[in-house]
Amino acid sequence: MPNLNVSKDMIVSIAEQQNKKFVRNTNKIVNQIMGAAIKELSKKISFLTLDKVVLQPANELISGAFIDGSSFIYFLGVQNVQLELNTNKKQGFWKSFKERLKYAWDNRKRLFRKRKHHLKKKKNEKVDDKDIEKAKIDPSKYTIYNLAEDLQKEIANYLSETSLIYLNKNLLQIVGKDDFGSNTKINIYVVNYDGVTFKYHDSKKRVFININFNIRIRYLDEKINAVGENFVKVLKIFNSLFYNTNGFICNQIFLESILCACPEDLFLGDDIYKVFLKIINYIAIKSIKEVKSINNPSLTIFQDEVCGNCILNFNRMMNRVLNN
């Protein structure tokens, strides 16, 4: 990649980019669809009720540093102890395969029934109680991955025919220009939730990765209250520069942690370009090895696995900007 052509006009343009209305409208549609899908699924899954489910924005949606190239990322947290135990239970491949095959066969008529993809519910639709009873699941074996599969089928009923919904383990990915707009991507991770902590299940290691959004949001709020909107503007700038360097958005907890560790006085000033220069030069001469994670302040951003592995890509961005 060529060096970034960083100019004052470019930095100011990124900082002043406005997309709040688009983000607000998309959030509203996603919440409507998920609410309708969960309400319908609750007919066969007793523990799946709206008061036990939380749809939590997970990326730059939290800070407001949403840019062109950002995706809408959410954690759908489901609060149920049995579901959590089932998800982390070790189970042989063939046993799991047989159970899934039996479930598919028992519910073959329901699974392959032709459905219309409308956002509005069909009027005067009659539901056969026998079909609902037959579709009920065994709560002692149902996992977060089973729930993700069922949600994929149910969400499809509330999307237009041009939209696509993909399933990768516990990740639902929705792409649909007619429903959300061109180049808009919706990513929903289906996870366990205990009322405070979201528990992302690593299927390979068979462990939960705990994410506490309350701690992260508290740190962000404290920093924004202390330095003002310049924090969000600088975060937008770093997101955009990282994206243009690497082709994807930086892990937000990693990046937010670094900016939260910068002295407050660096963010002060009316000229956002000068503010940006002060901060990027400060980061360039300071080691970030000891920066604490705002997800878990007892760990550094290199110890907390929630922060991902962004250091090489972050350094690449820094070098290209500084060499500009």
Q: For the chain, list the domains and their CATH numbers.
A: 20-211 (3.30.460), 214-322 (no CATH)
pLDDT in the model for residue 136: 56
Q: Are 301 and 260 in contact (CB under 8 A)?
A: no
- 181 vs 291, more confident: 291
Distances, alpha carbon 55 to alpha carbons 38, 160, 176, 207, 253, in Å: 11, 22, 20, 22, 18
* CB-based burial label for 267 (10 Å; 0-12, 13-18, 19+): buried
Which residue matches tokens 């660096």? 266
pLDDT in the model for residue 90: 56
H-type alpha helices, 43-172:
81-87, 93-106, 108-111, 129-135, 144-155
242 membership: H or E segment, kind and range: helix 230-246
Residue 101's pLDDT band (boundaries 50, 70, 90)?
low
Indicate if the pLDDT at residue 33 is higher than 90: yes
User: Taking the mean position of all CA atoms in its chain, how far away is CA 305?
Assistant: 16
Q: What residues are paired with 173 via a beta bridge?
A: 166, 187
pLDDT in the model for residue 121: 42
Q: Are 173 and 194 in contact (CB under 8 A)?
A: no
Which residue matches tokens 């997309």? 19
188 membership: H or E segment, kind and range: strand 185-193
Tens of pLDDT, residues 169-219: 999 999 988 899 888 999 999 999 999 999 999 888 888 999 999 999 999
pLDDT in the model for residue 45: 86
**Rounded average pLDDT over 156-172:** 92
pLDDT in the model for residue 216: 96
In sign, the C-alpha dihedral spanning 139, 141, 142, 144 is positive
For residue 223, the tally of other CB atoms under 10 A from its CB is 22
Q: Which residues contact 168 (CB under 8 A, 6 or more apart)?
A: none
Helix, strand or coil, per DSSP, at residue 211? strand
Retrieve residue 35's tokens. 């609410």
Helix 230-246 with 252-260: angle, nearest 10 deg: 130
User: How far is residue 209's CA from residue 193's CA, in Å, rounded to a whole number?
Assistant: 11
pLDDT in the model for residue 204: 81
User: How far is residue 203's CA from residue 258's CA, in Å, rounded to a whole number?
Assistant: 29
Helix, strand or coil, per DSSP, at residue 227? helix
Tens of pLDDT, residues 102-148: 655 665 554 444 344 333 444 444 445 444 444 456 667 889 999 99
Which residue matches tokens 């998800």? 87
User: Taking the mean position of all CA atoms in its chain, how far away is CA 25?
Assistant: 17
Tens of pLDDT, residues 67-87: 988 999 999 999 999 889 988
Q: What is the pTM of this model?
A: 0.82
Residue 155's pLDDT band (boundaries 50, 70, 90)?
very high
Q: What values do phi and psi take at 168, rounded to 5?
A: -130, 95
Type of residue at 22: F
Helix, strand or coil, per DSSP, at residue 187? strand
pLDDT in the model for residue 93: 42
pLDDT in the model for residue 120: 41
Q: What residues are paired with 75 via a beta bridge?
A: 56, 189
Average pLDDT, the chain: 86
Give 136-177 as a DSSP string: ---TTT--HHHHHHHHHHHHGGGS-TT-EEEEETTEEEEE-H
- In a 13 Å sphere around the CA of 124, the CA atoms on its Cβ side amount to 0
- 217 vs 89, more confident: 217
Distances, alpha carbon 134 to alpha carbons 127, 129, 139, 288, in Å: 12, 9, 14, 56
